[in-house]
Structure 1
Amino acid sequence: MGEVYFYHLTRSPLEATLRLLLGKALDAGWRVALRGRSDAILDRLDAALWQGGDADFLPHGRAGGPHDADQPVLLTTGTEAANRPDCLVCVEGAAIDAAEIAPLARAMIVFDGQDPQAVQTARDQWRSLKEAGIKAQYWSEESGRWTRKAET
């Protein structure tokens, strides 16, 4: 059964944290679905993932293209990902269901600690997934480096 990691952003921007997390997921050999709630966030993340040159390039594509199934990282607002992900990363409070976590190697919820609504959404997701029996870890960068603060 998959597990979910919560990443509470308090210092780093979303784009920098995603570069780190997506890089580690790809290094593990995982295909990733990156789920947001709006096209606006996916436009922003798509542009950010293309920047940085060859050393920082993260191969990815937007859902709805002819090569979705081949994408190592697929950016989507939908709940179905054609790239058969091993890992699901949710941003912007995107919905996640306990049933979809079970077949994954990992799910990640990345949320903005400066946004009270994002924090509340993450708390609600933590509670819901915990009640469903999903193993969870909560990570914070409050100290200046990522530290695991809680787990179920």
Structure 2
Amino acid sequence: MRVDFYQLSRDSAEAALPLIARASLGSGERLLVVSSDEGQLDRIGKELWSRLPETFLANGRAGGEHDDRQPILLAPEAAPANGARFMAIVDGAWRDGEPPFERTFFLFDDATLQAARDCWRMLGQRDGVERHFWKQEGGRWVEGP
């Protein structure tokens, strides 16, 4: 299992997620986007359709009759009704998937920094978890120490 920690400093989760989603779909994977904030999920849904001018990223909200067809599913829980093996947690609150996701993108900001640090330490205690840390530097994402 791989977990990529993304520390948001310049961009919001709504702005950063379309890039992650495009890369996930480009690798042939489906994505589950998780947040307990319904308003955030609404904003992300709109950004997925319009943020990247050269592409739109089709998505839907969990609970619909076609969840299994959605390449990107927006949900309040870590339940991949679309068969996703990749998950993006965008509200800074860690959730385990069952079964575990192959790859998780964990986005956090200053308000959720301590929870992210605690999560980093907790996941470091687990066998088979590969952790990576990314931060924004000069408008780009760079891997940190």
Instruction: Please report the TM-score for the alignment, with normalisation by the length of structure 1.
Output: 0.85
Q: Which runs of 5+ in 2 are unaligned?
A: none
The Cα shift of 1:98 comes to 7.4
Regions of 4+ moved over 3 Å: 98-101
Q: In the alignment, is the contact (CA less than 8 A) between 2:50 and 2:56 conserved in 1?
A: yes
Identify which range, 141-150 or 126-135, moves more after superposition.
Answer: 141-150
The TM-score with structure 2 as length reference comes to: 0.89
Count of residues in Structure 1 that have an aligned counterpart in Structure 2:
144
Aligned to 1:142: 137
| Matched-pair contact (CA < 8 Å) for 2:60–2:70 | yes
Shift in alpha-carbon separation, 1:48–1:24, aligned structure 2, 3 A: same
Which residue type is aligned with residue 107 of structure 1? Answer: T
Q: Is residue 128 of structure 2 the alignment partner of residue 131 of structure 1?
A: no
Q: Distance in 2 between matches of 1:98 and 1:129?
A: 13
Q: Percent identity?
A: 36
Q: 1:38 to 1:15 in 2, by over 3 A?
A: closer
Partner of 1:85: 84
| Alpha-carbon distance between aligned partners in 2 of 1:124 and 1:71, rounded to the nearest angstrom | 32
Partner residue, 1:40? 39
Q: Secondary structure at the match of 2:54?
A: helix
Structure 1 segments unaligned to the other structure (5+ residues) = none
SS in 1 for 2:81: coil
Would you say 1:65 and 2:67 are equivalent positions?
A: no
Q: CA RMSD in A?
A: 1.9
Measured against aligned partners, the alpha-carbon deviations of 1:91-146 in whole angstroms (never above 9, x if no partner) come to 11233227643xx331110112xx3x311111111111111131100011134321
Q: Give the alignment partner of residue 118 of structure 1, picking from 109, 112, 119.
A: 112
